[in-house]
């Protein structure tokens, strides 16, 4: 018998009428012949209200007690949902995370799922019940209640769908599906018929609040077809399928996102030698802070600056950790700025098309937005901007890439559903059967690209439009740029490094020289660099991946020149002569997790 999981978010169960509407949907699915598991969030803004209450009684509530408190929100809604179903003549049993047997680790407020037992749910389903599972929660080994992080009910739903072998995981929410960007921020955002795992993973971790990014890790790892749709009482329109294929093969950018509350930390004047990034990022991983936009500026006099962004909510923890580590790496100071936002464009098509980065930079410049930092990876470009310009920046890029207009050739809802089902049929479990626990890191492989050279512009005076000037000049020379890392040094001048194919390094240097003649600054190049990458799923949310890389390379005395991270990949640039040694060091370091 086919089984479906239906998840209802907070706004979709905000009052009695909505709860009854959700209950009717589940009953309808059951009448159509499915077994139904509902995953329910806390009603409306209940979780926010509980967080606020906690803060009123204690400045820093203990994480264990926070979980005890927050889990009650979901407990209220599952009980009401079971009553609503009973009231409509159906049969239902509500279960907490602990009652289901959602086992997690003990990192309170950010717990990861280790395993889920299906036995009790299956027994209830076979007895004709609708099972109503509390989202967002589990229990650790000692039966302490844990929660999965804000927005975590999505992750509960997709994880349940994975272990139950569900035919579909439906995510009911307050918008019609996944849009090209948050429709509340950009009026002409467009609903996509489907979106690929890798794109939504990036979008979600770069600020698109529509899905908890860890839920997509499950979706991808266990090939769960996900359908995001509107819970509105009178709608039955198809929403968006999250599956293996993108909406369009030939569009470079498929969506954009804004992280409003971002903060930047710069460790100034560290000694420029192997092991320094390791020390800093080790201190951050120890306190479970995920970093993004890592920018390492080539040093003067054997000193370098390392700068990176974290969520503003992690700033205090991150600063404390970095300050403690700073002394060991002889840093002269640790700076931070909390008033920044990150705007990103994402698209699978970017990996094979040129001219995305420079178009984005030009669009921002034309809207008067100054770019404070840039990092890129194969399928995204992120720019750090001042917070007050964040929204204007998001709108500018949405317009520039014409995201409001449907792509000329695109996969239909039906195509993507078929692709998602086909992937489900394939033997996905083989890949994950080696995992000890469900949310373990999955690494697909380690790669060496030894075809690249690197160009670096230093001391470029900071002004709007410089990145656009630089990358337009490079694109005009027909050069394919791979990684870009741009940052503003402690001296207020911009530093930009980018990699290009070795065969094009002379043209790239010439193009860069033309630009610095106009703007000021100097150009240097390294004709032989190696890019080492680790690819997998949930790479950034597992803070240990970058760390393992840094540790393995540092043990071989290899200096890391550039870093870029994404949810599916971490890239580092090192000296070309050390490429092969670096590759084998990484292969050894990840041997136990390569799936």
Q: Which does 486 bind (CB under 5 to 8 A by kind): ligand ADP, Mg ion, ligand ASP, none?
A: none
Q: Which residue has the tokens 């974290």?
A: 310
Per-residue binding string, ligand ADP, 180-199, x by CB under 6 A, is: -xxxx---------------
Output the CA angle 313-315-316, nearest 5 degrees: 105
The least distance separating Mg ion from the CB of residue 175, rounded to whole angstroms, comes to 11
**Pairwise CA distance, residues 387 & 260, whole Å:** 7
Instruction: Kindly state whether residue 239 participates in binding ligand ADP, applying the rule CB under 6 A.
Output: no
Query: How far apart, in Å, are the Cα atoms of 222 and each of 122, 219, 301, 595?
Result: 19, 6, 50, 13
CB nearer to ligand ASP: give 152 or 465. 152
Q: What are the residues whose beta carbons fall under 8 Å from the beta carbon of 65, sequence distance 6 or more?
A: 54
Instruction: Kindly state whether residue 151 participates in binding Mg ion, applying the rule CB under 5 A.
Output: yes
Q: Which does 208 bind (CB under 5 to 8 A by kind): Mg ion, ligand ADP, ligand ASP, none?
A: ligand ADP
**Total of residues contacting ligand ADP (CB under 6 A):** 18
Query: How far apart, in Å, are the Cα atoms of 528 and each of 99, 350, 453, 509, 577?
Result: 57, 24, 5, 14, 8
Q: Which does 152 bind (CB under 5 to 8 A by kind): Mg ion, ligand ASP, ligand ADP, none?
A: ligand ASP
List the structure tokens of 442. Answer: 């999955």
Instruction: Kindly state whether residue 208 participates in binding ligand ADP, applying the rule CB under 6 A.
Output: yes
Q: Which does 550 bind (CB under 5 to 8 A by kind): ligand ASP, ligand ADP, Mg ion, none?
A: none
The least distance separating Mg ion from the CB of residue 9, rounded to whole angstroms, comes to 5
CB nearer to Mg ion: give 159 or 369. 159
**Pairwise CA distance, residues 16 & 39, whole Å:** 17
Instruction: Kindly state whether residue 152 participates in binding Mg ion, applying the rule CB under 5 A.
Output: no
Query: How far apart, in Å, are the Cα atoms of 131 and each of 6, 225, 296, 379, 437?
Result: 10, 20, 51, 39, 24
**Pairwise CA distance, residues 154 & 139, whole Å:** 17
Torsion from C-alpha of 426, 430, 436, 439, nearest 10 degrees: -20
Instruction: Kindly state whether residue 209 participates in binding ligand ADP, applying the rule CB under 6 A.
Output: yes
Per CB under 6 A, the list member of 93, 178, 357, 365 interacting with ligand ADP is 178
Q: Which does 210 bind (CB under 5 to 8 A by kind): ligand ADP, Mg ion, ligand ASP, none?
A: ligand ADP
Q: Which does 42 bind (CB under 5 to 8 A by kind): ligand ASP, ligand ADP, Mg ion, none?
A: ligand ASP
Per CB under 6 A, the list member of 4, 5, 10, 533 interacting with ligand ADP is 10
Look at residues 379, 401, 341, 374 and name the one whose alpha carbon lies nearest to residue 498.
374
CB nearer to ligand ADP: give 241 or 496. 241
Residue 265 has, within 13 A of its CA and on its CB side, a CA count of: 26
CB nearer to ligand ASP: give 174 or 557. 174
Strands 442-461 and 522-537, bridge-based pairing? antiparallel
DSSP H or E segment with residue 518:
helix 505-519
- In the complex, the residues that contact ligand ASP under the rule CB under 6 A are 9-10, 41-42, 47, 73, 135-136, 150-153
Q: φ and ψ at 519, to 5 degrees?
A: -95, -20
**Pairwise CA distance, residues 285 & 321, whole Å:** 9
**Pairwise CA distance, residues 272 & 293, whole Å:** 19
Instruction: Kindly state whether residue 9 participates in binding ligand ADP, applying the rule CB under 6 A.
Output: yes
DSSP H or E segment with residue 240:
strand 240-243
Residue range at the interface with Mg ion (CB under 5 A); choices 9-17, 248-256, 294-302, 416-424: 9-17
List the structure tokens of 585. Answer: 């060091």
CB nearer to ligand ADP: give 155 or 497. 155
CB nearer to ligand ADP: give 132 or 560. 132
The least distance separating Mg ion from the CB of residue 78, rounded to whole angstroms, comes to 16
The least distance separating ligand ASP from the CB of residue 8, rounded to whole angstroms, comes to 10
The least distance separating Mg ion from the CB of residue 531, rounded to whole angstroms, comes to 35
Per-residue binding string, ligand ADP, 12-51, x by CB under 6 A, is: x----------------------------x----------
Q: In what order do the strands lie in the sheet with 92-95?
A: 92-95, 130-134, 35-40, 3-8, 168-173, 226-230, 240-243, 194-196
Of how many residues is the chain composed? 595
The least distance separating ligand ASP from the CB of residue 164, rounded to whole angstroms, comes to 19
Q: Which spans of this chain sit near ligand ADP (rule: CB under 6 A)?
A: 9-12, 41, 151, 173-175, 178-179, 181-184, 208-210
Q: Which spans of this chain sit near Mg ion (rule: CB under 5 A)?
A: 9, 151
């Amino acid at each position: 018998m086919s089984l479906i999981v239906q998840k209802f978010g907070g706004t979709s169960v905000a009052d009695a009428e909505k709860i009854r509407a959700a209950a009717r949907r589940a009953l309808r699915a059951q009448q159509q012949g499915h077994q139904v598991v509902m995953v329910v969030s806390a009603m409306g803004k209940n979780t926010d209200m509980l967080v606020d209450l906690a803060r009123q009684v204690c400045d820093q509530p203990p994480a264990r007690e926070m979980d005890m408190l927050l889990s009650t929100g979901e407990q209220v809604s599952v009980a009401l949902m079971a009553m609503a179903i009973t009231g409509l003549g159906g049969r239902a049993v509500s279960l907490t995370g602990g009652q289901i047997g959602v086992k997690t680790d003990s990192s309170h407020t950010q717990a990861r799922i280790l395993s889920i037992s299906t036995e009790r749910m299956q027994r209830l389903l076979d007895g004709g019940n609708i099972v109503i599972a509390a989202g967002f929660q589990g229990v650790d080994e000692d039966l302490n209640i844990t929660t999965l992080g804000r927005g975590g009910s999505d992750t509960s739903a997709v994880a349940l769908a994975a272990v139950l072998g569900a035919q579909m995981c439906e995510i009911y929410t307050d918008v019609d599906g996944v849009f090209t960007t948050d429709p509340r921020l950009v009026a002409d955002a467009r609903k996509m018929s489907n979106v690929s795992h890798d794109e939504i993973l990036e979008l979600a971790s770069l600020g698109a609040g529509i899905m908890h990014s860890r839920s997509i890790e499950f979706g991808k790892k266990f090939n769960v077809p996900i359908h995001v749709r509107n819970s509105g009482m009178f709608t039955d329109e198809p929403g968006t399928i999250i599956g293996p294929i993108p909406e369009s093969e030939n569009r470079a950018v498929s969506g954009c996102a804004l992280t409003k509350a971002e903060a930047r930390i710069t460790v100034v004047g560290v000694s420029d030698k192997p092991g320094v990034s390791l020390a800093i990022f080790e201190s951050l991983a120890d306190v479970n802070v995920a970093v993004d936009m890592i920018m390492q500026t080539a040093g003067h006099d054997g000193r370098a600056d390392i700068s990176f962004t974290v969520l503003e909510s992690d700033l205090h923890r991150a600063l404390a950790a970095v300050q403690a580590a700073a002394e060991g790496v002889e840093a002269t100071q640790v700076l931070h700025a909390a008033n920044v936002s990150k705007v990103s464009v994402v698209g699978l098509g970017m990996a094979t098309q040129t001219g995305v980065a420079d178009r984005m930079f030009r669009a921002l410049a034309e809207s008067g937005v100054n770019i404070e930092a840039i990092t890129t990876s194969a399928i995204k470009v992120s720019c750090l901007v001042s917070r007050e310009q964040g929204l204007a920046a998001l709108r500018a890029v949405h317009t520039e890439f014409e995201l409001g207009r449907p792509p000329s050739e695109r996969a239909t809802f039906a195509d993507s559903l078929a692709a998602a089902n086909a992937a489900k049929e394939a033997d996905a479990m083989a890949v994950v059967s080696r995992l000890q626990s469900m949310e373990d890191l999955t690494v697909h492989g380690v790669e060496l690209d030894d075809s690249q050279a690197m160009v670096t512009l230093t001391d470029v005076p900071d002004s709007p439009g410089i990145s656009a000037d630089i990358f337009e000049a490079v694109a005009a020379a027909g050069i394919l740029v791979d990684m870009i890392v741009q940052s503003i040094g402690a001296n207020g001048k911009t530093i930009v490094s980018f990699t290009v194919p070795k065969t094009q390094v002379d043209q790239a240097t010439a193009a860069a020289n033309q630009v610095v003649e106009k703007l000021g600054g100097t150009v240097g190049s390294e004709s032989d660099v190696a890019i080492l990458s680790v690819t997998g799923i949930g790479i950034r949310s597992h803070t240990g991946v970058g760390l393992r890389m840094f540790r393995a390379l540092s043990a071989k005395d290899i200096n890391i020149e550039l870093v870029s991270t994404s949810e599916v990949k971490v890239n580092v640039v090192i000296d070309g002569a050390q490429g092969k040694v670096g590759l084998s060091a990484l292969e050894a370091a990840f041997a136990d997790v390569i799936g």
